[in-house]
A and B are shown apart, each in its own frame.
Chain A
Amino acid sequence: MTVIDLIASANHNLLRNKTRTILTILAIFIGSFSIITTTAIQNGVNDFIDSQVGAFGGEGFIQMYGKADEDDSLTIANPMTGGPQKYKEADSNELGLVAITREQFEKVKTVEGIKADTVLDGKFGTVTYVESTKNSERYTATLNLMTKGSIHFDLVAGQMVDNDSAEYQVLLPTDEWTTSLGYKDNDEAIGKILKFVVLDPITKQPKAFEAKIVGVQAPSVISGGAMIVNSTLNSALYDENTKYLPEVEKEKVYTIAAEFDYEHYKAEDIKKALDEIGLTAMTVEDIVGQIKSFFDVIITTFTVFGYVALLAASIGIINTLFMAVQERTREIGLMKSFGMGGNQIFFSFALEAVMLGFWGSVLGTIASMAALGGIDAQAHMNDGFLQMFPTFHLGVYTIESILPVILTVMIIAFVAGVVPARRASRKNPIDALRYE
């Protein structure tokens, strides 16, 4: 038989016993569906994280904390380990952060690999409320600042704040803010003034700082909904916040952010150097790594499930083909007596198996796309759980992620089909013909 005839007859044979074929395809379908779906979610998460951190940028950002103790230095940075903690005699604030001395701060600038001009001293200003100049609404706000050109944020409008600018600048955390502040869209908000109001610690008299809105951020897990202000605004706010404090208290800081030359230095080496100064450091990779590893656990679980399902499906394929061999034993005998070679018979059965694998996995892919696409669309609607993250797409499908799965499934199907196919090809024609 020619290859075309073989394919045609394999197809024909699969259609002959529809129920069994459909059940086998269903088993393969379930396996492929879960594998394709989990890889698509994984892609979605990775894409999201990449879009949050940016293709470059993030790698060079490093954040430092005072080290509480030789061994449990990281407890403060990890929100997962709540629980009561022993009091340790150190100059710590109410969060348990250990104060960083001026001396340590100066030393950080001299660490090889750290860019001295990017070192931020962690004097974070706070604001009592912000007030819209458009609709006069007042809101509370948490503030954050970023090192020069460090983390590359996902912006939906405008640009990043400029730490070197003399004017006060702010980046709105989400586009929810633009509507709350009375603007009809992001573009209208850009260039407008937002008032940062601080009450005098003693007299309670409000003092306003007028900052220009330079951009709007896409919702981000890293900035956690905080407004990014530039250093100029931050310093002004901090000075106002601490204006009654003694000089020594004013100079006390708990965190330092900086950038290091990640192209020429390893994060590990820099961390070690900072450790010698008595500081614990975390890079963006450390922070993002925590999020990533959380998703990885889920994804691995689902992938394992998918492969277990596929394993079950391959037993289904073996069964389907064994039955088909049995059912068609006479036909095999007839074909052999008319000169069909064992190889061709093997090939035609193996082809059936591969076709089962092909249809199962292709349908699984299509179903997965439809399902995740639907959930994703639903999730981004008004009350959806992903409404906050417009750039987070649940299912991201690429040829590179789909094709290997389909091929793997087809290979599994082929391997499962080998045993029955061999059995079919080895029959003696007359024995096969006499088979009842």
Chain B
Amino acid sequence: MGIIIEAKGLTKTYGKRAAAFTALRDVNFQIEEGETLAIVGKSGSGKSTLMHLLALLDTPTHGTIKIDGIAASRLKGRKLNKLRNQRFGFVFQQFFMNANDTVLENVMLPLKIGKVNRFKRKKLAMEALKTVGLEDKAKNKATDLSGGQKQRVCIARAIVNNPKVIFADEPTGNLDSGTGDKITDLLFDLAKKQGVTLIIVTHDEDLAKLCNRIIRISDGQIISDQTVRSDYQAKASEKREKEAARVRKANK
């Protein structure tokens, strides 16, 4: 599997002169295709900043990002838009939905931008909503949803275009453990079955443990980067064993 994202000497400074604040300092790492990566750290450590840079939503003050070996600074206009529209999926920490539009319209937005025809975009959006268990809220206004429902709509929107890379900033932050687990299962299933690269920003250690790689940052710098056999893999086999045990019991 190839390297999909490469970060070299990433530095991000917000503001100017006296008000300048360096949120990210000389960050270097590579992400391989199909990896599940957790970016963990305290609040204000620069996790979201890093994710925005990796997703090409923002430009670094110094350093370079390469996508499939091509420097992001060379990706402009049409190519960049196509990348954002077809290969990336985002879940923002603050959701960012068009409050006055319906849930369905919000989920359809990436497809509408990608010029998918009306019929098909509706069908795909409904499927995505079904995946997150919100198909009955399709016609509701986005503002009328609860926090957890909004988060799920955002996840539906991130997966609707069948992306190769999903960037998720605190995807389970507002969910109860039951719903959270369902969403987590969904994301990791996509990663496993379709080879989607998953980049999750979280301060939830349990969620982080499900990933096969954990990058810890503090004050804008990487303090550890470990690749492990994820809990998710362990959990999955555990689940399978439990299921088998249950079946065995039932058969007795």
Contact = CB atoms under 8 A, between A and B. Distances in A.
Interface in A380-436: 428-431, 433
Interface stretch (A113-121, A200-208, A331-339, A369-377): A331-339
A340 interface: yes
Interface stretch (B33-41, B76-84, B224-232): B76-84
A339 B112 contact: no
B100 A16 contact: yes
A330 interface: yes
Interface in A208-256: none
Interface in B154-191: none
Interface in B57-100: 57-59, 77-78, 80-86, 90, 92, 94, 96-98, 100
A331 B55 CA distance: 18
A85 interface: no
Interface residues of B, number: 27
Interface string B99-133: 01000000001101111000000000000000000
B209 interface: no
A330 B83 contact: no
Nearest to B98: A331
B168 to A, nearest CB: 14
A337 B85 CA distance: 8
B52 interface: yes
Contacts of B86: 339
A336 B77 CA distance: 11
A337 B109 contact: no
Given A341-B77, A433-B96, A2 B115 contact: yes
A89 interface: no
A1 B100 CA distance: 19
A340 B92 contact: no
A433 B81 contact: no
A338 B52 contact: no
B81 A341 contact: yes
Contact of A430 (B52, B97, B100, B110): B52
Given A1-B113, A428-B58, A429-B57, A337 B90 contact: yes
B115 A337 contact: no
A340 B97 CA distance: 15
A72 interface: no
Contact of A1 (B52, B90, B96, B115): B115
B198 to A, nearest CB: 18
B98 A5 contact: no
Nearest to B78: A341
Interface string A298-328: 0000000000000000000000000000000
Contacts of A431: 58
Nearest to B158: A338
B100 A338 contact: no
Interface of B: 52, 55, 57-59, 77-78, 80-86, 90, 92, 94, 96-98, 100, 109-110, 112-115
8 contacts: A1-B112, A1-B115, A334-B96, A334-B97, A334-B98, A337-B84, A339-B83, A339-B113
